Chains A and B, each alone.
Chain A
């Protein structure tokens, strides 16, 4: 199969590993810098103390060359640097980063990336159940609705390997933080549901400091407010029948489109999520 990035021409050395839709919104190779990725900041008024504790724990993303205490610098899939999200230590601890945009026209948007996840290598053990999950949320608003499609790869829960893709279509109520500002911490452990056919073993390798990169793709149609497909390496899942978190449209969020990756820990160690590169494309 010829990807759209290869048709009729010599493969583009950066894009031929992707399968983008006709227009590329952004392509970030983190050897060129942070490229507009930032920490997700919880809403607050008056004092940072009013921030929801779920959001308060989040930490800033960083550029990493994946240096290990035993093997030295691992580097990224291409170039030396990757975007790194690092949770704090502790079971259930989580961090979230994002890039904020608006969509130019309602269309299908498709996220692609090469990623890997690993626990902090504090133990000389396999540690393959230390990372609980990693996932992606889109934050989207059209003229009538705000939707928060979100999927995750549940690696382990309460110390037991799970190895499956999940989605969430229900969460918790909004909390009022004052001054016409509300917050909803929808990244918690509640209401995750298994995606049919979503069991998948993702290569972890044999110790925490050996890293392999994986391909991920997720599509969402802003016209219908429905997912299209999820792909991780050779697993392709039709998500078009799945629901999403959905609310009435909110003030000041017209045409919102945010891409929001997250990672959480299932042990007392930090959980790390790395992106070699991220590409967002659309068919507008």
Chain B
């Protein structure tokens, strides 16, 4: 049988501000993931805009996984991160200093 794979759009046109998080996504079946972040509207995005990967056992209590992505400051800019051994739940937390905002797309591509 082919390895299961699934892409979930975890932010579909959302206005991120500092501290914005994506909804918890369960992925305990997956061994690996690629997270992509694409800027749909650049808003006031600038240097220092990041998205941090977080993991959780229960979807309620989160710890930083250690991976961070730069949030692209130009429209249609894309950044990505490869993940493995992440356990159960995944999400992104935005760090947007200086009251930055951006209209964002984020996808989680999982593979067993």
Chain A residues packing against B (C-beta within 8 Å): 32-34, 39, 47-49, 51, 56, 59-60, 62-65, 67-69, 81, 84, 86, 88, 120-122
Contacts and interface: CB of A to CB of B under 8 A. Distances in A.
Contacts, number: 54
B4 A86 contact: no
A84 B8 contact: no
A69 B59 CA distance: 9
Contacts of A84: 26
Nearest to A269: B60
Contacts of B12: 48, 56
Given A34-B6, A48-B12, A63 B29 contact: yes
Nearest to B22: A59
Given A34-B4, A34-B6, A69-B60, A56 B13 contact: yes
Interface residues of B, number: 23
Contact of A39 (B9, B26, B57, B61): B9
A49 B14 CA distance: 9
Given A47-B13, A60-B10, A63-B27, 10 more contacts: A32-B4, A39-B8, A48-B13, A63-B26, A64-B26, A65-B26, A65-B28, A67-B28, A69-B57, A120-B60
26 contacts: A32-B4, A33-B6, A34-B4, A47-B13, A48-B12, A48-B105, A49-B103, A51-B13, A56-B12, A56-B13, A59-B23, A60-B9, A62-B8, A62-B25, A63-B27, A65-B26, A65-B28, A67-B28, A67-B88, A68-B58, A69-B61, A84-B26, A86-B23, A86-B24, A121-B58, A122-B60
B26 A62 contact: yes
Nearest to A42: B12
Contacts of B58: 67-69, 121
Contact of A48 (B27, B40, B88): B40
